[in-house]
Amino acid sequence: MTVCFDEMKGEDGNLRATYEGLDAWLRDLSPDVLDQRCQEAEFLFRRIGITFNVYGEADATERLIPFDVIPRIIAADEWKRLERGLTQRVKAINLYLKDIYGRREILRKGLIPEDLVFQNQVFRPEMNGQKVPHDIYIHIAGIDIVRVAADTFYVLEDNVRTPSGVSYMLENREIMMRLFPDLFSRYRVAPVENYPDELLATLRSVAPDTAAAEPNVVLLSPGIYNSAYFEHSFLADKLGIELVEGRDLMVKGGVVSMRTTEGPKRVDVIYRRVDDDFLDPLSFRPDSTLGVPGLMSAYHAGNVTLANAVGTGIADDKAIYSYMPEIVKFYLGEEPILQNVPTWRCREPDHLAYVLEHLPELVVKEVHGSGGYGMLIGPMADKGKLAAFRTRIEADPKNYIAQPTLALSTCPTWVDRGVAPRHIDLRPFVLTGSDTVRIVPGGLTRVALQRGSLVVNSSQGGGTKDTWVLDV
Amino acid sequence: MLSRTADNLYWVARYVERADYLARILEVTMRLTALPLAYVGSTNEWDSAVATAGCGNGFFSHYSEANEDTVREFLAFSAANTSSIRNCIELARTNARAVRTALTSEMWEVINDSWLTLKKFGKGPTSREEFMRFLRFVQETSLRFDGSAYRTMLRTDAYWFFRLGLNIERADNTARILDTKYHLLLPEDTHIGGPLDYYQWAAILRSVSALTSYHWVYRESLKPWLIADLLILNPKMPRSLASCYDNLVIDCDALAEAYGRQGTSQRKARGIRTRLANSRMTEIFQNGLHEFITEFISNNNELGSAISRQYLM
Amino acid sequence: MRIRVSHRTVYRYDKPLSRVIQTLRLTPRPHDGQHVVRWRIDVSEDCRLEAQDDAFGNVTHAFSADGPVSHLEVLVEGEVETQDTDGIVRGAIERFPPSLYLRETPLTVADPPIRQFARDAVAGREGEIAVLHALLGAVHEAVVFDTDPTHVTTTASEAFGLRRGVCQDLAHVFIAGARSLGIPSRYVGGYLHRSDGVVAQEAGHAWVESWVPELGWVAFDPAHSISATEAYVRVAIGLDYLGAAPVRGTRFGGIGETLEVEVQVDQAFHQVQS
């Protein structure tokens, strides 16, 4: 493996200033105490019921995401740069979506191939020419960032459909503050606990013009069997809004209402955690029972805001990702602050040739896959797997992109009664309202708990850490 | 509040109450069957337990004979029995999970803990000692759950829907015991002081946790008509039909007050309570205890449907 | 040709519905070959019909009604004046560039047999028009009209496997084949005035429009193996049946549904004379 940047010890092995306090604290602490704290943390998580559901596992449908007690620390100046970059990127994505479902200037200019949009299943023709309240498509974005060197952060993926994980950001902090008050006293850590307030302010700011002065905001969940159900109920609770399912809502006269014990009550903003396909059986999959029949007609009539908007997948699709630098330049006239990972598009013959030649060094992804599925990590794959993947790429090059194997930064992590470096990423959450862009300092740090592993997804054995952004 | 949320709260309460009831039936039956035959007669108490649990049809489509093994299995652990204790706790938790934001964290922790504990019992304990511990655990769950609701919930509509579920289920359970055992309580059928019936009467009282209460209320040895009075008309006894309906009227009125509107549920609950308040045991026996109970069960179900139509759909 | 359309849909329930919501695509728009003289929709329940254009430019009407409803009737009635344009559709609302209509949908996936079939059918033909006519004849030939084996959710691939289907299925097979050949194609729902004098029909009609660069959108009817004529009343377009469906709805409650559809397509002057 190539040498990785370590968040604590940099590239050269010298302790970085931000981690001095943590280092000293770790030295003071006996492994027994830390071990005990880990068990307490697990007990707390299980007791509160912070679990996620795993699809296809009938028996153990509720699992804990492993939590690592050693925080990941980001310096104030590092964060400021990330924050500017995130704001810029999300602004550009919003303008891009408005354009794609409106005038389509970017296609006319030929900056993105038309077929990449029109032939893409995540493009929603139903949204064409439809206005969304306040022209905002992405109210909540989770942008996955990795660090490969002291000054190099890459955006790995934009999640602008129904990004999840923010409940872990909040609960991780709660649990850390309960378990390690002493460690907190050595640092000035920017709080994240205001996230629910910021989210609510964002959602209220985007209510449609026809809404009452006090807009009714609800969270629409697919229900208790969804993998992120815990998060849905957690957020609804923190925001003080109703957690609804499709069957709780109905559309009449172009207006959405919810069934309450006191009769129907109008709904103005729906923070929806149901995928596009299932939102409205009269517009999308006719067999969906999770959605609300007629929802799209109320949406098109301008009487309800969906957060995020329908059809935002055409912004975070892996096939579109590689065009993000052009998107930022085109809509904002600025150079992107956050870099993309260099990406080869197998649809382009010269890129394809390069990819096939360098397969063992590359990470190859299906353009429509997610969660680390349908992926080849070249350096980890044996000959058979490489050959199989080569055949798949050759059969349908359009379906793949490739990237260099990134040396994701590592962070000290508690494993087997000892501290060892493990690879991490970061998912900050960007909120866009009609008034302003809000970013709570930090985000969710995911960690690949297996030694050497680069896969941080919770569905594939990844864990999480508390993320500290220092105030000074 | 969302109709579905109210519905979930109502059913959480019902399922926990039902689990508690089944645990008491099983405990009492185990106790009775442990006595020498001379004390309890030759009736099959396991048959009676199945009947009291209200799942005769389901049971006999799975088993040909009611005995300790089959009844314990079916009432406590069977996945095939939708009202087994295991299923009640699972369903209570499923409902609770769907409305976590409407429960207090204390309530959620009780129900989640007991669900986790339930898993530890696996397919069901084999030894009697272990099984008794299981039954105690179920009863403690309902005590803790009720208690935490009483101590931590805001007195808003959520609380009243929770209470409605609890009291409807409780009234139904007490009525079912009476429905199965009414023949033991008929005055003409008694050989007073006979040991056979004594243990049966004690068992009835135990199954509503009222053996001690009986003595405090009546200061007499066990008399069947007094037992009937305690279970049906005595408002001091928390599981009596009268007490359940005192509470149901309070719960319904609180909702009417909160929403500024009343409907069928309120009228129905008051009607049933008035009927209980104006009844005397002598008249009930004259007109037929069994008929009275049958009619009560059907009225109680109608109130359940009325609540459902008025608020939960 | 002046065409008079009457389209009545009646739903009956043994146990009444508690609620119903529907989106209708039952109103034609004018284009160069089609002038809408008059058109109206009636729903038997008291409710508001909310008119909206969908993303393809079709006129939609949404309505909902609260039960109990044991009988629901949707009546569409109107007159359209048409002209023969050799199947070429001009002056219609176009919300997308033609290339959008290369998009695959679940109902129109071109599986390997359909791809092979389309390639074989057009072998040796040059130019879109020749290719499309060859495909038209081949689909008409290969898939026998049969109302039995298929239903509204049958995919192109299933219908092609059966070699049987209704106009909807033939349209799907044609669309899948044409798109696999790189020709943008779309689904059209509407009415057909039958030349054999039969007025009462069991359903509306469905056909296809394909993009020919030098002509624009050209309508083909694989059920009759011809380009659309003045006998065709064009109501809605979409990527497939679902996008142009005359009725999409959800009902709550209601048991024992029976559905009765009556479509009458007639020349208007007959009515005047009688």
Q: Which two tokens stand for residue C13?
A: 């329930």
Same domain, yes or no, for A32 and A85? yes
Domain boundary, last residue among B97, B127, B153: B153
Q: Which residues of A touch B109 (CB under 8 A)?
A: 47
How far is Cα of residue B20 from the mean position of the Cα atoms in its chain? Answer: 7
pLDDT (0 to 100) of residue A191: 94
Q: List, for residues C139-149, the tens digit of each pLDDT value.
A: 999 999 998 88
User: CB–CB of C96 and A126 under 8 A?
Assistant: no
Q: What percent of chain C has pLDDT over 70?
A: 98
**Residue A446: phi, psi to the nearest 5?**
-105, 145
Out of B2, B99, B108, closest to residue A258 by CB: B2
Which whole number is the average pLDDT over C227-256? 95
Mean pLDDT of chain B: 89
Same domain, yes or no, for B207 and B306? yes
- Indicate the CATH number for domain C85-241: 3.10.620.30
Same domain, yes or no, for B32 and B139? yes
| Window from A118-122, A213-217, A448-452 with minimum mean pLDDT | A448-452
Same domain, yes or no, for A361 and A418? no
Q: List, for residues B231-284, the tens digit of each pLDDT value.
A: 999 999 999 999 999 999 999 999 999 999 999 999 999 999 999 999 999 999
Contacts with A, C 139-158, CB within 8 Å = 153
Q: Which two tokens stand for residue C191?
A: 């009415």
Q: What percent of chain B has pLDDT over 70?
A: 95
Give the count of alpha carbons within 13 A of B133, CB side only.
11
Q: Which residues of C touch A282 (CB under 8 A)?
A: 21-23, 248-250
Q: Which two tokens stand for residue A219?
A: 């969270």
- Whether the predicted pLDDT of B192 surpasses 60: no
Helix (H, G, I), strand (E, B) or coil at C258: strand
pLDDT band at C273 (very low <50, low <70, confident <90, very high): very low
Same domain, yes or no, for A144 and A161? yes
pLDDT band at C274 (very low <50, low <70, confident <90, very high): very low
Give how far C23 is from chain A: nearest CA, Å. Answer: 7
- Whether the predicted pLDDT of C162 surpasses 50: yes
Q: Which residues of C touch A301 (CB under 8 A)?
A: 50, 52
Mean pLDDT of chain A: 91
Q: Which chain B residue shows the shortest CA-CA distance from A49? A: B112
Q: State how many domains chain B has.
A: 2
Same domain, yes or no, for A348 and A296? no
Q: List, for residues C193-218, the tens digit of each pLDDT value.
A: 998 889 999 899 999 999 999 999 99
- Whether the predicted pLDDT of B190 surpasses 70: no
ipTM, 2 dp: 0.92
Which whole number is the average pLDDT over A87-112? 97
Q: Which of A131, A252, A310 to mutate against chain C (most C CBs within 10 Å)?
A: A252
**Residue A1 resides in a domain:** no
Averaging pLDDT over each range in A196-200, A368-372, B185-189, which range is the top one? A196-200
Give how far A281 is from chain C: nearest CA, Å. Answer: 8
Give how far A352 is from chain B: nearest CA, Å. Answer: 48
Same domain, yes or no, for B220 and B209? yes
Out of A47, A233, A245, closest to residue B101 by CB: A233
Give how far C1 is from chain A: nearest CA, Å. Answer: 34
Q: Where would I find the beta strands (DSSP E) of C121-172?
A: 144-145, 164-165
Q: Rounded to whole angstroms, how far apart are CA atoms C235 and C7?
A: 13
Closest C-alpha among A89, A134, A157, A161 to residue A309: A161
Which whole number is the average pLDDT over A42-50? 76
Q: What percent of chain C has pLDDT over 90?
A: 89
pLDDT (0 to 100) of residue A461: 76
Out of A130, A253, A294, closest to residue C48 by CB: A253
Domain boundary, last residue among A247, A277, A303: A303
pLDDT (0 to 100) of residue A1: 47
The ranges assigned to domains in chain C are 2-81+246-273, 85-241
Q: Which of A260, A261, A270 to mutate against chain B (most B CBs within 10 Å)?
A: A261
Domain boundary, last residue among B94, B128, B153: B153
Q: Rounded to whole angstroms, how far apart are CA atoms A108 and A116?
A: 13
Give how far A313 is from chain B: nearest CA, Å. Answer: 28
Query: C255: which strand partners?
Result: C15
Q: List, for residues A231-274, the tens digit of each pLDDT value.
A: 998 999 899 999 999 999 999 999 999 999 999 999 999 999 99
Q: Which chain A residue shows the shortest CA-CA distance from B261? A: A262
Give how far C244 is from chain A: nearest CA, Å. Answer: 11
String of DSSP letters for chain B: -BHHHHHHHHHHHHHHHHHHHHHHHHHHHHHHHHS-HHHH-SS-HHHHHHHHTT-HHHHHHH-SS--HHHHHIIIII-SS-TTSHHHHHHHHHHHHHHTGGGS-HHHHHHHHHHHHHHHHTTT---SHHHHHHHHHHHHHHHHHHHHHHHHHS-SSHHHHHHHHHHHHHHHHHHHHHHHHHHHHH-GGG--TT-HHHHHHHHHHHHHTT-HHHHHHHH-SS--HHHHHHHHHT-TTSTTSHHHHHHHHHHHHHHHHHHHT---HHHHHHHHHHHHHHT--HHHHHHH-HHHHHHHHHHHHHHHHHHHIIIII-
Q: List, for residues A406-421, the tens digit of each pLDDT value.
A: 889 999 999 887 899 9
CA distances from B151 to B108, B111, B147, B158, C161 (A): 13, 15, 6, 14, 66
pLDDT band at B225 (very low <50, low <70, confident <90, very high): confident
User: CB–CB of A245 and B4 under 8 A?
Assistant: yes
User: CB–CB of A125 and C248 under 8 A?
Assistant: no
Q: Which two tokens stand for residue A420?
A: 């060892």
Exposure string of A11-37, with b = 16+ CB inside 10 Å and e = fewer, is: eeeeebebbebbeebbeeeeeeebeeb
pLDDT (0 to 100) of residue A58: 45
Which whole number is the average pLDDT over B44-73? 88
Same domain, yes or no, for A380 and A417? no
CA distances from A228 to A50, A234, A235 (A): 10, 10, 11
Give how far A243 is from chain B: nearest CA, Å. Answer: 8
Contacts with A, C 191-250, CB within 8 Å = 239, 242-243, 248-250
Same domain, yes or no, for A330 and A215? no
Same domain, yes or no, for B92 and B24? yes
Same domain, yes or no, for B147 and B192? no
- Indicate the CATH number for domain C2-81+246-273: 2.60.40.2250
Regarding predicted confidence, which is higher, A100 or B218?
A: A100
CATH number of the domain within which A389 lies: 3.30.1490.270
- Whether the predicted pLDDT of A460 surpasses 90: no
Same domain, yes or no, for A173 and A103? yes
Contacts with B, A 200-259, CB within 8 Å = 223-224, 229, 233, 236-237, 242-245, 247-248, 258-259
> How many A×C Cβ pairs under 8 Å?
73
Same domain, yes or no, for A285 and A432? no
Out of C19, C96, C249, closest to residue A128 by CB: C96
pLDDT (0 to 100) of residue C243: 95
Same domain, yes or no, for B147 and B171? no
Q: Which chain A residue shows the shortest CA-CA distance from C179? A: A119
Could you give the strand order of the β-sheet that contains A217-220, starting from the edge strand earlier in sequence? A242-244, A217-220, A269-272, A305-307
Q: Are A158 and A321 in contact (CB under 8 A)?
A: yes
Same domain, yes or no, for A355 and A429? no
Domain boundary, last residue among B122, B153, B184: B153
User: CB–CB of C52 and A282 under 8 A?
Assistant: no
Contacts with B, A 22-81, CB within 8 Å = 46-49
pLDDT band at A60 (very low <50, low <70, confident <90, very high): very low
Averaging pLDDT over each range in B36-40, B79-83, B182-186, C114-118, which range is the top one? C114-118
Same domain, yes or no, for A416 and A387? no
Out of C21, C56, C99, closest to residue A294 by CB: C21
Q: Which two tokens stand for residue A190?
A: 């920017």
Place of tokens 């872990």: A168
- Whether the predicted pLDDT of B42 surpasses 90: no
Which whole number is the average pLDDT over A94-99? 98
Range of the domain at A237: 209-303
Same domain, yes or no, for B29 and B54? yes
Strand C226-227 versus strand C216-221 pairing type: antiparallel
pLDDT band at B199 (very low <50, low <70, confident <90, very high): confident
Q: List, for residues A12-40, the tens digit of each pLDDT value.
A: 889 999 999 999 999 988 888 888 888 88
Q: State how many domains chain A has.
A: 3
User: CB–CB of C100 and A300 under 8 A?
Assistant: no
Q: List, for residues C2-21, the tens digit of each pLDDT value.
A: 999 999 999 999 999 999 99
| Window from A42-51, B130-139, B186-195, C154-163 with minimum mean pLDDT | B186-195
Contacts with B, A 79-98, CB within 8 Å = none
Give how far A425 is from chain B: nearest CA, Å. Answer: 31
**Residue A6 resides in a domain:** no
Helix (H, G, I), strand (E, B) or coil at C93: coil
User: CB–CB of A233 and B100 under 8 A?
Assistant: yes
Same domain, yes or no, for A272 and A356? no
Helix (H, G, I), strand (E, B) or coil at C161: helix
pLDDT band at A57 (very low <50, low <70, confident <90, very high): very low
Place of tokens 């056979």: B196
Written in H, E and C, the secondary structure of A137-167 is CCCEEEEEEEEEECCEEEEEEEECCCCCCHH
Out of B101, B112, B312, closest to residue A49 by CB: B112
Closest C-alpha among A325, A343, A320, A257 to residue A294: A257
pLDDT (0 to 100) of residue B38: 65
Range of the domain at B297: 156-313
Q: Rounded to whole angstroms, how far apart are CA atoms A88 and A91?
A: 5
Q: Rounded to whole angstroms, how far apart are CA atoms A307 and A297?
A: 16
User: CB–CB of C23 and A130 under 8 A?
Assistant: no
Interface partners of chain B (CB pairs < 8 Å, 3 or more) are: A
User: CB–CB of B3 and A46 under 8 A?
Assistant: no
Place of tokens 């990941």: A72
Which whole number is the average pLDDT over A354-379? 84
Domain boundary, last residue among A379, A404, A429: A404
Regarding predicted confidence, which is higher, A62 or C215?
A: C215
State pTM to two decimals.
0.88
